[in-house]
């Protein structure tokens, strides 16, 4: 049971990190297209902030 819980948390941490990398790439691409602040950037930033909080909580639980 304990190793299964560890594996699930580790997979969630990896998934959150990959999600942040992908969102960073999308953010750079959208900014490169427009070079000004718009609603799409705000939505991507909001999702990234939520994902960072999820990642921090997963890392704190993982310890």
SS3 of residue 37 by DSSP: coil
Residue 16: Cβ within 10 Å count: 19
pLDDT confidence of 9, banded at 50, 70, 90?
confident
Residue 10: Cβ within 10 Å count: 12
Instruction: Please tell me the predicted confidence (pLDDT) of residue 38.
Output: 73
Instruction: Please tell me the predicted confidence (pLDDT) of residue 62.
Output: 63
pLDDT at 1 over 60: no
Reported as a single tens digit per residue, the pLDDT across 52-61 is: 898 888 888 7
Reported as a single tens digit per residue, the pLDDT across 12-54 is: 888 889 989 998 888 888 878 877 767 778 888 888 899 889 8
């Amino acid at each position: 049971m304990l190793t299964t819980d560890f594996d699930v948390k580790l997979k969630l941490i990896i998934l959150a990190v990959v999600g942040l990398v992908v969102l960073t790439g999308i953010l750079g691409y959208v900014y490169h297209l427009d070079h000004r602040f718009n609603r799409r950037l705000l939505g991507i930033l909001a999702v990234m902030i939520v994902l960072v909080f999820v990642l921090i909580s997963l890392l704190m639980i993982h310890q």
